[in-house]
């Protein structure tokens, strides 16, 4: 049966004028009433320094023109709500609308960060319940919702571990990181004042316990591990590695960015992790991309709980309060108590799926990744013979055979209405294509993606210029990406007559 296909972007207009270029003199979107006698002008109300006087050439359009212009522009973007978005390691899955509806409830959306605790009991109760749910999911003893993003969660976890070692009077200043680590891991270590030691992966792409044993010593504070790793593989020696680290007095930090493969199925706390960070804006289905907002809670074992950022939620006879009396805390890393809207969305997601539903989501994500991997192995083999978890990393030799690069394959996918996958990562795989389908895509969507990849592979062999010049159906084909990044034109400039 021929797979159903997603709509392509062949109907996109080839050129969308700037709103300034649509302007017609004296056309109005709305008519404001004339000022009444005695009323004050805008300059009198705001101050003349805040009122622009250089609006010559400001666009004059009707309301429908404005609406259609910006709606059209919005649809030239690729977005998870519009297309398949298999961006590996980013978990761009569907965000159920009910989560947004819960976050928009007046009691949640209108609450002020400075609201006294006795007037915010409902919000604090939700935060306490979310902490308990995340502790159950991760197998950890205490959760802090404080960090605003995954990278800040990494920094928070490292500072907590540093405070723990210092409290014990130990000068441990090194952190081991595998060569397949997320790029934020070494950056977070450096920001927290640690020296980074790199552990080489073995020939199968896994962490090697003997390599970790070689690096571990009395000056090592911890090891940061992403599990599943950035090759989309579960680390088989994780428990042994945790044990040997603990024997040396070091701790195990688990980067939970790939928790979409484990949620409801396996717990980092049971693997020996002492700290784990979660990306609510990935695994727990809250929107992300475009710079936030995010949420990167961390979970810790009991001996690290005193060092968590403050204040901490505490239940008293007066209800929920924030406990400020925590002498060993690393203190605040940001204002207030996290991005609350993200917390509401994550709690709504967990409640709506329940324990069995969370496990099913992870299992379906793993099934989708292995389905894509297996169907494409005849033209894009996997970087590892091991079964994939929630994402698969594919490789190819097309560039040496046909001149078609991984970047050009990604560009060509745009013509099929598909957001490109992550490319050239992890760095240990030459020409890598990292694909994360997630659990929310149908078999028809996956088949459409597979069909597009097979066609691109065939074009690379028989008509490489079609791939090298892609995309063909978008408003813009190729731009000078370096020029666009270094010298962007952000202000409208009138065209010369």
pLDDT on residue 476: 81
- CA-wise closest residue to 151 among 195, 181, 113, 196: 181
Give the tens place of pLDDT for each residue, 24-71.
988 988 877 777 888 888 888 999 898 887 777 788 999 999 999 999
The predicted-structure confidence for 315-346, as pLDDT tens digits, reads as follows 999 999 999 999 999 999 988 888 899 999 99
Give the SS3 label for residue 166: helix
**Which of 333, 321, 325 minimizes the C-alpha distance to 306?**
325
Q: Is the pLDDT of residue 254 over 60?
A: yes
- pLDDT per residue over 342-361, tens digit each? 999 999 999 999 999 999 99
Question: Which DSSP letter does residue 222 get?
Answer: E
Tell me the average pLDDT across 73-89: 88
pLDDT given at position 328: 97
Of 361, 299, 331, 379, nearest in space to 136 by CA = 299
135 pLDDT higher than 50: yes
- How far is it, in rounded angstroms, from Cα 407 to Cα 386? 25
Q: What's the confidence (pLDDT) of residue 70?
A: 92
**CB-CB contact of 380 with 395 (8 Å):** yes
**Beta-bridge partners for 252:** 223
Give the phi and the psi of residue 135 in degrees, each rounded to 5: -65, -40
At 92 the three-state DSSP class reads coil
Asked whether residue 1 carries a pLDDT value surpassing 50, the answer given is: no
pLDDT classification of 12: cutoffs 50, 70, 90: low
Average the pLDDT over 468-494 and give the result: 86
Listed residue (410, 129, 391, 445) closest to 283, CA to CA: 391
Q: Flag whether pLDDT at 465 surpasses 50.
A: yes
Number of residues in the chain: 497
The yes-or-no verdict on residue 2 having pLDDT over 50 is: no
Lowest mean pLDDT among 81-95, 100-114, 337-351, 476-490: 476-490
pTM, 2 dp:
0.88
Angle between helices 150-167 and 184-191 (to 10 degrees): 40
Whether pLDDT at 289 is above 70: no
């Amino acid at each position: 049966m021929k797979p159903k296909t997603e709509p392509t972007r062949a109907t996109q207009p080839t050129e969308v004028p700037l709103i300034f270029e649509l302007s017609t003199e004296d056309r109005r979107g709305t008519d404001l009433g004339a000022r009444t006698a005695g009323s004050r002008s805008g300059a009198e109300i705001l101050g003349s320094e805040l009122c622009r006087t250089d609006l010559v050439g400001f666009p004059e359009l009707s309301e429908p023109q404005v609406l259609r212009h910006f709606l059209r522009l919005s649809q030239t973007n690729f977005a998870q709500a519009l297309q398949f978005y298999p961006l590996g390691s980013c978990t761009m899955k569907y965000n159920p609308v009910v989560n947004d509806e819960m976050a928009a409830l007046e009691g949640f959306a209108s609450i002020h960060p400075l609201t006294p605790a006795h007037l915010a009991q409902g919000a604090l109760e939700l935060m306490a319940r979310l902490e308990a749910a995340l502790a159950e999911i991760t197998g950890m003893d205490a959760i802090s919702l404080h960090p605003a993003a995954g990278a800040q969660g990494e920094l928070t976890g490292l500072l907590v571990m540093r405070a723990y070692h210092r409290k014990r009077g130990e000068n441990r200043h090194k952190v081991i990181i595998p060569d397949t680590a997320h790029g934020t891991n070494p950056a977070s270590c450096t920001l927290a004042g640690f020296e980074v030691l790199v552990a080489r992966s073995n020939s199968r792409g896994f962490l090697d316990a003997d390599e970790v044993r070689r690096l571990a010593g009395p000056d090592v504070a911890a090891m940061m591990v992403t599990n599943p790793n950035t090759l989309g593989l579960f680390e088989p020696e994780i428990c042994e590695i945790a044990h040997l680290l603990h024997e040396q007095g070091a701790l195990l930090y688990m980067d939970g960015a790939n928790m979409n493969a484990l949620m409801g199925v396996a717990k980092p706390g049971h693997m020996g992790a002492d700290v784990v960070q979660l990306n609510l804006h990935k695994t727990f289905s809250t929107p992300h991309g475009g710079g936030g907002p995010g949420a990167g809670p961390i979970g810790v074992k009991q001996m690290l709980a005193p060092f968590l950022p403050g204040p901490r939620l505490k239940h008293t006879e007066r209800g929920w309060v924030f406990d400020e009396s925590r002498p060993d805390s690393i203190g605040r890393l940001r204002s207030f108590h996290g991005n609350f809207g993200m917390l509401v969305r994550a709690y709504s997601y967990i409640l709506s799926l329940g324990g069995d539903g969370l496990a099913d989501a992870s299992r379906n994500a793993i099934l989708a990744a292995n389905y894509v991997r297996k169907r494409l192995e005849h033209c894009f083999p996997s970087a590892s013979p091991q079964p994939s978890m929630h994402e698969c990393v594919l490789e190819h030799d097309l560039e040496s055979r046909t001149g078609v690069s991984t970047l050009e394959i990604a560009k060509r996918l745009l013509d099929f209405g598909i957001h490109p996958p992550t490319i050239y990562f992890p760095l240990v795989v030459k020409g890598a294509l990292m694909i994360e389908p997630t659990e929310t895509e149908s078999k028809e969507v996956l088949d459409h993606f597979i069909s597009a990849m097979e066609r691109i592979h065939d074009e690379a062999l028989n008509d490489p210029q079609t791939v090298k010049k892609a995309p063909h159906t978008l408003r813009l084909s190729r731009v000078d990406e370096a020029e666009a990044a270094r010298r962007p034109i952000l202000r409208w400039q009138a065209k010369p007559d």
